[in-house]
């Protein structure tokens, strides 16, 4: 698979700048939005589908008829919009129907980014996993989000996001998910801690990471490093990386953002865009700790010659390095990345760390076997595409088409999209995109819960 990724070439992902949009004359438009962790790889995947058949899109079956799917990936990252014409990303409407997103939408970056995310609003691109899922829930919940004065009334399912990108797992009751949400995992990632400080040690225990973010450890010398203060960084509210870090690594406790926080020192929590260190303040560069996607860290490291891709380095002399974690009881000390002597770069350690068995799930989604004390490594996660199966006659047009692009039927012999079927040439190409982007593909191993179809994806129901 690594060889296949190399043949695709890094050029297919450089900058992950979206293709220009052109209004289709027929067919169905499928748009994805949300997480910036999977923004890049999903741009490659959605562009690949749209470029099929000389740019006419991929054939899908909607309402019993075969039409072409015109797929678009709405950027989340503010820096992408800064480099687009007019600072807008256009997703065209469907000229063939008046019942599902008939008008063009010019998406703009979230004005609250990178420190926060706006509530679901037509034309403001969802910034983060939580924002994408909130938008999906709002548009399919009969509450909008439609522009003021629009002739498109509530309840018509307008809003035009069909896939919510998410690096976070299904959310609990009352936290924004709907019972009709479908989570399709398509890749593996791992979240670890990173630092730009030369005073930090190479290894932190799980408990030490918790105590740093809970303000009880404030100096690197307290965890085996050189004397020097620690400053905590965390992604913005609505980030899937943030929510995963809090739930799976901090034990569900949100860090205090107060100078009165115990332990002394500067305890103000800095909030920045996830999985990058370029915006760390100069005064904090020898102090900062932050969560970091191991997949994006490896991708950025591999492309260190290109500063538009490599977002690890706030200065030419300082780059974020990924740390090791020791799990409960000291039974496992590992990094989610490993050095590959053949390819001469870092990659996810899929030999024993970044594996399906180390993904922690809630009990009703198959999580009963996960146990850190007996060897399960923390921080390993799935990357998801989330669909909403709401609607009559098998769901909205966008849902029906999206499932054929990024989902599968979780039953023996179930139908699989190319993204979930590496046995096809198209599936192999999309799997290569996953590898090139730094993530790890999923196997087609059958199980009785999340993958009965021998797909290369996993299915989980929304709302834990």
d(C-alpha 330, C-alpha 157), whole Å: 51
pTM of the predicted structure, to 2 decimals: 0.90
d(C-alpha 273, C-alpha 113), whole Å: 8
Q: Which of 380, 321, 326 is nearest to 348 (CA)?
A: 380
**Average pLDDT, whole number, for the chain?**
86
Residue 456 has pLDDT above 50, yes or no: yes
Q: Which of 449, 441, 443 is nearest to 367 (CA)?
A: 449
Least confident of 108-112, 172-176, 250-254, 343-347: 172-176
The distance of Cα 323 from the centroid of its chain, to the nearest Å, equals 21
Indicate the pLDDT class of residue 187, thresholds 50, 70 and 90: very high
3-state secondary structure of 462: coil
Q: Residue 101's pLDDT is what?
A: 74
- CA-to-CA dists, residue 171 to 58, 176, 245, 283, 315, angstroms: 31, 7, 14, 36, 37
Fold of 188-380: D-Maltodextrin-Binding Protein; domain 2 (3.40.190)
- CA-to-CA dists, residue 38 to 77, 127, 240, angstroms: 11, 12, 10
Give the single-character DSSP code of 124: B
DSSP letter string, 12-51: GTGGGPPPPP---SSSEEEEEEE-SSSHHHHHHHHHHHHT
Domain boundaries, the chain: 2-186+389-461, 188-380
Indicate the pLDDT class of residue 2, thresholds 50, 70 and 90: very low
d(C-alpha 210, C-alpha 110), whole Å: 30
- pLDDT tens digits for 261-297? 666 667 788 988 899 999 999 999 999 999 999 999 9
Beta strand residue intervals within 356-416, DSSP E? 380-388
User: Of the segments 12-16, 321-325, 363-367, which one has the largest average pLDDT value?
Assistant: 321-325
């Amino acid at each position: 698979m690594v060889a296949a990724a190399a043949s695709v070439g890094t050029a297919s992902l450089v900058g992950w700048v979206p293709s220009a949009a052109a209004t289709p004359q027929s067919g169905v438009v499928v748009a994805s939005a949300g997480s910036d962790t999977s923004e890049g790889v999903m741009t490659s995947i959605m562009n690949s589908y749209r470029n099929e058949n000389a740019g006419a899109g991929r054939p899908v079956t909607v309402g019993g008829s075969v039409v072409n799917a015109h797929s678009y990936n709405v950027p989340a990252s503010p820096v992408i919009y800064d480099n687009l014409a007019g600072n807008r990303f256009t997703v065209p409407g469907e000229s063939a129907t008046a019942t599902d997103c008939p008008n063009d939408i010019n998406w703009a970056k979230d004005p609250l980014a990178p420190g926060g995310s706006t509530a679901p609003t037509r034309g403001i691109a969802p910034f983060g996993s939580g924002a994408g899922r909130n938008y999906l829930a709002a548009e399919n919940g009969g509450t909008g989000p439609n522009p003021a004065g629009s002739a498109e009334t509530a309840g018509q399912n307008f809003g035009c996001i069909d896939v919510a990108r998410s690096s976070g797992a299904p959310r609990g009751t009352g936290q924004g998910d709907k019972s009709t949400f479908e989570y399709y995992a398509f890749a593996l990632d791992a979240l670890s801690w990173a630092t730009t400080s030369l005073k930090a040690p190479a290894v932190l225990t799980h408990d030490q990471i918790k105590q740093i973010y809970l303000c009880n450890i404030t100096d690197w010398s307290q965890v085996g490093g050189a004397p020097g203060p620690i400053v905590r960084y965390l992604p913005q509210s609505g980030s899937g990386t943030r929510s995963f870090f809090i739930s799976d690594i901090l034990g569900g406790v949100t860090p205090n953002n107060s100078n009165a926080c115990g332990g002394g020192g500067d305890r103000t929590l800095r909030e920045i865009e996830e999985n990058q260190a370029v915006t760390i303040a100069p005064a904090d560069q020898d102090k900062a700790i932050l969560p970091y996607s191991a997949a994006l860290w490896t991708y950025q490291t591999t492309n260190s010659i290109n500063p538009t891709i490599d977002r690890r380095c706030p200065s030419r002399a300082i780059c974020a390095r990924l740390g090791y974690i020791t799990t409960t009881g000291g039974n496992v000390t590992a990094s989610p990345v490993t050095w590959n002597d053949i390819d001469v770069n870092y990659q996810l350690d899929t030999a024993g760390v970044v594996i399906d068995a180390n993904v922690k799930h809630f009990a009703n989604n198959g999580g009963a076997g996960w146990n850190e004390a007996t060897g399960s490594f923390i921080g390993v996660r799935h990357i998801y595409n989330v669909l909403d199966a709401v609607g009559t006659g098998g769901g909205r047009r966008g849902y029906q088409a999206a499932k054929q692009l990024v989902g599968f039927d979780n039953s023996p012999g179930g139908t699989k999209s190319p993204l979930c079927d590496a046995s096809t040439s198209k599936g192999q190409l999309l799997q290569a995109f996953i590898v090139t982007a730094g993530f790890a593909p999923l196997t087609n191993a059958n199980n009785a819960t999340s993958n009965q179809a021998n797909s290369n994806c996993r299915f989980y129901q929304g709302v834990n």
